[in-house]
Amino acid sequence: MLSEERNRTLTQVGPGTPMGELLRRYWMPIAGASELDARPTKPVRLLCEDLVLYKDKGGRFGLVDRQCAHRRADLAYGMVEDCGLRCNYHGWLFDETGACREIPYDDLADPASNLKAGVKIKAYPVRECAGLLFAYMGPAPVPPLPVYDALTWTNGWREVVTSDVPCNWLQCQENSCDPVHFEWMHDNWGARLRGSEELSPKHLKVAFDEFEHGFLYKRVREGQPEGSHFWTVGRVALWPIGFFLGQHFEWRVPVDDENTLSIALFFARVPRGREPYVQKTVPTWKSPLTYPNGEWITSHVINQDILAWVGQGRIADRSKEYLSGSDRGIVMMRKRYFDEIEKVRRGEDPKGVVRDAAAAACIELPLAERAQFVEGLPIEDWPKDRLMGRRMHGHVWCYGQPAEVWKDFAEAMGFDPGLRAAGEGP
């Protein structure tokens, strides 16, 4: 268990807080790029800061202070220009660096004053990768964006799914290093929700390892040989706020101390023989957490996880918990956060920050069954595959995939969209 003081250290993320300063050393996904197609501005809150994400007419992305430097108008309603975002109140124009490019009245009435030269708003760099927009909110020098090799895979179909989770980020991320919950939440409880009393294979042993970019959890369940990739390779709890399972990434992005943006990127390699395939647009959609009557949605894997996270309260009180042997990975993770906080205090780069641009351009993460994602499976083998067989009938992880997104996925894969199961959402 943690003391109340140490729990606050790990859960508070605002500017100047120990964890806030640590997390600002990393690039974090903040939106799907396609979110800005219909409307080029989006208000966002990240690490207790209110900001505006935008895409200007020149194709540049920016992340700037939500309030204009002039009279504090809301830039979420600003107008994008060829270069930058213009306030809709008096027309002040800011570029992606936060520099003021135009002050229309003063530029015309008193050009010699050059008032704009002294005006700047808060701004953070944004990079696009694999349909996601990543932001860096830390100090200079800005490290290169770490591009994990799964983000570079070709001949595949991607989608971005977000949810607004009303609790602290840490109880979400600790789920990433917790193998035993699969047995109980997703298998046993999931079976009960479907009206079955059948119990899933028990966990016989678990193990945890640390590597440069996170932690690995490994497990052996009843009926599973120790030569299985679940034990020899494991799953990646991606440092500092992510989870990687091959077919998808999940990130738990801190909005503030009591709210988290769950953002996931899913990948499906087209069946072998349908190459080359190039996806035109990576769709982004929001997965709802509750039904219209207010009840929590429990039918899908990540929806079940979110219920468990939120059930711990807005900020979990870790001074009252009792940890067991299956929680060794969580203990390792917490200790690493404290250690990396101290590195930042000493002015050092924390764990996982890559300064070499060539190394950051393609970082290979531990992954079993890599060939399936790179080379694909014949479509006739999909029904026999543990995962792809389920994907032929709907979204496995998140409730509410829009019908038009499902249709685009099915067409890309080359099967009948009518295979979608009932209850998969709108």
At 59-87, the pLDDT tens digits run 999 999 999 999 999 999 999 999 999 99
| Closest listed residue to residue 89, CA positions, set 110, 116, 70 | 70
Measuring CA to CA, which residue among 316, 320, 290 is closest to residue 169? 316
- The pLDDT of residue 30 is above 70: yes
- Span 307-314, mean pLDDT? 98
Q: Which residue has the higher pLDDT, 279 or 424?
A: 279
3-state SS assignment for residue 7: helix
pLDDT at residue 423 above 80? no
How large is the average pLDDT for residues 321-339? 97
The helix (run of H) or strand (run of E) holding residue 19 is helix 18-23
Residue 369 confidence (pLDDT): 85
Among 32-41, 140-149, 315-324, 385-394, name the one with the lowest average pLDDT: 385-394
pLDDT for 422 equals 78
What is the reported pLDDT for 38?
94
DSSP letter (8 states) at residue 118: G
| One-letter identity of residue 53 | L
Question: What's the pLDDT score for residue 387?
Answer: 87
Task: Write out the H or E segment, with its range, that includes residue 339.
Answer: helix 328-345
- Whether residue 424 has pLDDT greater than 80: no
Task: Write out the E strands in 270-381.
Answer: 284-286
pLDDT digits (tens, 9 = 90+) for 338-373: 999 999 999 999 999 999 999 999 999 999 889 889
The closest of 253, 267, 212, 264 to 387, measured between CA atoms, is 267
Residue 277 has pLDDT above 70, yes or no: yes
Per-residue exposure over 33-44, b if at least 16 CB sit within 10 Å of its own CB, e if not: bbbbeeebbbeb
- Partners of 254 in beta bridges: 260
pLDDT for res 426: 63
User: Coil, strand or helix: which one is 299?
Assistant: coil
Report the candidate in 107, 112, 113 with the shortest Cα–Cα distance to residue 92: 107
Query: What is the share, in percent, of the chain residues with pLDDT greater than 70?
Result: 99
- At residue 79, the 3 state secondary structure works out as strand
Q: 89-127: buried (b, 16+ CB within 10 Å) or exposed (e) per residue?
A: eebbbbbbebebbbbeeebeeeeeeeebeebebebbbbe
pLDDT band at 421 (very low <50, low <70, confident <90, very high): confident
So what's the pLDDT on residue 333?
A: 98
The mean pLDDT value of the chain amounts to 96
Q: Which residue has the higher pLDDT, 184 or 369?
A: 184
pLDDT per position as a tens digit, 117-142: 999 999 999 999 999 999 999 999 99
Token duo for residue 34: 């396609």
Closest CA to 250 of 138, 332, 163, 316: 163
Name the 3-class secondary structure at 348.
Answer: coil
Task: Read off the pLDDT band of 425 (50, 70, 90).
Answer: low
What is the C-alpha to C-alpha distance for residues 253 and 350, in angstroms, rounded to an integer?
18
Give the start-end residues of each E strand in 248-320: 248-256, 259-269, 284-286
Residue 230: pLDDT over 80: yes
Report the chain's terminal Cα–Cα distance, integer Å: 42
Kind of pairing between the strands at 79-81 and 93-94 = unpaired
Could you tell me which residues come within 8 angstroms of residue 42 by beta carbon, excluding any fewer than 6 positions away?
Answer: 31, 35, 36, 52, 53, 54, 76
Report the distance separating Cα 203 and Cα 314, nearest Å.
30
Given a cut of 90, whether residue 406 has pLDDT beyond it is yes
- Nearest residue to 326 via CA among 174, 107, 164, 222: 174
Asked whether the predicted pLDDT for residue 1 surpasses 90, the reply is no
Full set of structural domains in the chain with CATH: 26-136 (2.102.10.10), 149-419 (no CATH)
